[in-house]
Chain A
Amino acid sequence: MAKRLERLDRGIKVRSDDIFALNSWREMLYIIAPRVLPVLLLLVVGVWASTYWQRVIMQVCMIGLLAISWDLLAAVGMVSLGQALFFGIGAYIAGVLNHYLGMSPWLTIPLATVGGAAVCTFLLLPVLRLRGIYFSMVTLILPLMIERIIEATKVFGGTEGLSGIESLPQGMTELIAAMVVVWIALFSFTRMMNSDYGLILKGINDNDRAVMSAGLNIYYYKAQALFLSSGVAAFAGAFITHAYQFVGMPVFALDYSILPIAAAAVGGMGTLAGPLLGCFILVPMNELLRGLGGMRTVIYALLLVVFTVGLPEGIFHYIKRKYTQFERWVEVDS
């Protein structure tokens, strides 16, 4: 007798759909747990960790912002090979404002976020009209070019960078702030993508001619997505600048472009939470494997390829599927 695999929604998922979640505590817990638990877990781990690991967690959060912003762009159809561009511009704006003008982090970070977003959107505006591959190519080479130019012209501190940047309020505040920002970014972007606005953005990726014939200006929407994404990434750059009290050429390095993509590939593209999950896995792994030096990049690169080609779904999709559906074998009528 032939069998096939059947997937059905779990009972509890159906029972907790929409307003029926208010039925009982169990249903409400089913809905709330996956959202609240990670937040609490991260908080607890953060508070109890050593100073060294607190720094790592803060890094996880910032790279997480890069990954989330990458995923947003990818959902609209723009594959960025250069989150480092947005990251670096934000970092330098904050660093320069603080170093040369003495502005405090409370000013530099917002300014870097909005200013960075504006600069990046303006820079990439012309390629939005072209095929997606152009976006990838331009985002790839711009940060590399800028890196070389800083090295050559010694502007903004050149190879030595700008040090002595004012730091953020130390210790716990810095960490909590990082966490708060990440969760806000994740939840607000998720809500956005689930709304009608998100439908339009995803539609542009799916079938831009249909979106245009529906009377929507796709370039405007793409620019908006770019603004949001680059702003978030610029924030991460500015934050890191103040956290490490230094900004230099390395902010444009390829690493900051690759890590978000690897995290998205491992965690699951298109879900926003997946890339963040990927960061939770990869960044600490990055730290633990420090001894391996350059081999780490090789490993990420290979992970990238393996996951993209072999398991495009990513870990998060898998977890989500397990959480909301169950499988069983059923007999097929012949």
Chain B
Amino acid sequence: MSSPFLSVENLSKSFGGVQAVSQVSFELEENKVLGVIGPNGAGKTTLINLLTGFVRPDTGKVLFKGQNLAGLRPYKIANLGVARTFQMVKPFYQLPAFKNLVLPLRSPRARHLIGGRYGDLDAVAKDLLEEVGFERDSWVIYKHASVLPHGYLKRLELARCIALSPELIVLDELFSGLSLAEVASLVPVIDKLKVQGKTIIMVEHRLRELFRIADQVVVMNFGQKIADGKPKEVMEQQSVREAYLGSEEEEGGDA
């Protein structure tokens, strides 16, 4: 019986007096999409930071293919095959989109898997951009990232992630700030990643779009995991409803 692809065990982190993440555990099988949802402040972004090495956990383990990622530095984790996007997009604004991809393409992992000498990287970068929805040979590839609309910046984030040829992709609110049409155009991209064998974790607020693609959903509230299972089952749980909508006792005054 081989160990699960990703196994999070009793992960906890507190900042000063605030318990941001408390004893969170879950398992994820390979090539599945996991959604992480919960109200604001539930600890979702901290969870991602813990998984990807940007924050050191107080206790707990993050077992990725049997190896414990807890305590490793972000770049080591990235090179092991776990890539992430940021909720607040962080591109290099002074560089054109395809130049933005140069950095992940120069990582040890990408160099090992994709190869390519100095000149070839530009072509690889442009292919990657096309995969996430940048129109080939259009201005969006060549102008500085500072003039790109929000939708393209999000795609650029995703492209930077994919450039690492990761096995596990962690997306922090990829759909936030996007129109329905933009979200609809990104869903096929995520499907394609799944077809390619990748495993994906998505933190999202936009539940309808998420539930169409997620195989498994974990719900967090106040730093704890309150539900874990298939999307439909999870949404029927009382505790989840209360987390989002409040319980009947809380609804005072006019109904």
Check A-B contact in the complex, CB < 8 A. Answer: yes
Q: Residues of A with Cβ closer than 8 Å to B?
A: 195-196, 199-200, 203, 206-207, 209-218
Taking a contact as CB atoms under 8 Å apart, the answer to whether A216 and B118 are in contact is: no
Which stretch from B39-47, B75-83, B207-215, B234-242 is at the chain A interface? B75-83
How long is the Cα–Cα vector from A207 to B102 in the complex, in angstroms?
14
Taking a contact as CB atoms under 8 Å apart, the answer to whether B52 and A196 are in contact is: no
Q: What are the interface flags for B82-105 relative to A under an 8 Å C-beta threshold, 1 for contact and 0 otherwise? A: 011010001110110001001110
B57 within 8 A of A: no
Taking a contact as CB atoms under 8 Å apart, the answer to whether A196 and B102 are in contact is: yes
Q: A196-B106, A199-B103, A214-B160 are in contact. Are A209 and B92 (CB under 8 A)?
A: no
Q: What are the interface flags for B194-214 relative to A under an 8 Å C-beta threshold, 1 for contact and 0 otherwise? A: 000000000000000000000
Taking a contact as CB atoms under 8 Å apart, the answer to whether B54 and A209 are in contact is: yes
Q: A215-B79, A215-B108, A215-B110 are in contact. Are A210 and B94 (CB under 8 A)?
A: no
Residue from the list A196, A210, A212, A215 in contact with B92, Cβ < 8 A: A210
Taking a contact as CB atoms under 8 Å apart, the answer to whether B103 and A200 are in contact is: yes
Which B residue's beta carbon lies closest to that of A204? B103
Taking a contact as CB atoms under 8 Å apart, the answer to whether A212 and B94 are in contact is: no
Taking a contact as CB atoms under 8 Å apart, the answer to whether A214 and B73 are in contact is: no
Q: What are the interface flags for B159-179 relative to A under an 8 Å C-beta threshold, 1 for contact and 0 otherwise? A: 010011000000000000000
Which chain A residues border B118 with CB–CB below 8 Å?
195-196
Residue from the list B79, B102, B107, B163 in contact with A199, Cβ < 8 A: B102
Least CB distance, B152 to chain A, in whole angstroms: 16
Which chain B residues border A203 with CB–CB below 8 Å?
92, 103
Which chain B residues border A211 with CB–CB below 8 Å?
103
Q: Residues of B with Cβ closer than 8 Å to A?
A: 52, 54, 73-76, 78-79, 83-84, 86, 90-92, 94-95, 99, 102-104, 106-110, 118, 121, 160, 163-164
Taking a contact as CB atoms under 8 Å apart, the answer to whether A215 and B78 are in contact is: yes
Residue from the list B75, B86, B90, B164 in contact with A217, Cβ < 8 A: B75
Which B residue's beta carbon lies closest to that of A206? B92
Q: A200-B103, A217-B75 are in contact. Are A210 and B91 (CB under 8 A)?
A: yes
Taking a contact as CB atoms under 8 Å apart, the answer to whether A215 and B104 are in contact is: yes
Which B residue's beta carbon lies closest to that of A217? B75
Q: A199-B95, A215-B107, A217-B75 are in contact. Are A210 and B86 (CB under 8 A)?
A: yes
Taking a contact as CB atoms under 8 Å apart, the answer to whether A213 and B52 are in contact is: yes
How long is the Cα–Cα vector from A211 to B102 in the complex, in angstroms?
10
Which chain B residues border A206 with CB–CB below 8 Å?
92, 94
Residue from the list A195, A209, A215 in contact with B90, Cβ < 8 A: A209
Least CB distance, B86 to chain A, in whole angstroms: 7
Q: A213-B86, A215-B78, A216-B106 are in contact. Are A207 and B160 (CB under 8 A)?
A: no
Q: A200-B103, A209-B54, A210-B86 are in contact. Are A215 and B164 (CB under 8 A)?
A: yes
Least CB distance, B60 to chain A, in whole angstroms: 21
Least CB distance, A76 to chain B, in whole angstroms: 14
Least CB distance, A269 to chain B, in whole angstroms: 15
How long is the Cα–Cα vector from A133 to B217 in the complex, in angstroms?
43
Q: A196-B121, A199-B95, A203-B92 are in contact. Are A213 and B83 (CB under 8 A)?
A: yes
Q: A199-B103, A200-B103 are in contact. Are A207 and B92 (CB under 8 A)?
A: yes
Residue from the list A199, A200, A214 in contact with B164, Cβ < 8 A: A214
Taking a contact as CB atoms under 8 Å apart, the answer to whether B103 and A216 are in contact is: yes
Find the residue from A195, A212, A218 having the highest chain B CB count within 10 A.
A212
Taking a contact as CB atoms under 8 Å apart, the answer to whether A214 and B92 are in contact is: no
How long is the Cα–Cα vector from A213 to B94 in the complex, in angstroms?
19
Least CB distance, B170 to chain A, in whole angstroms: 10
9 A-B contact pairs sorted by A residue (CB < 8 Å): A195-B118, A203-B103, A213-B75, A213-B78, A214-B103, A215-B75, A215-B79, A215-B107, A218-B75
Which chain A residues border B99 with CB–CB below 8 Å?
199
Which B residue's beta carbon lies closest to that of A210? B90
Taking a contact as CB atoms under 8 Å apart, the answer to whether A215 and B102 are in contact is: no
Taking a contact as CB atoms under 8 Å apart, the answer to whether B75 and A216 are in contact is: yes
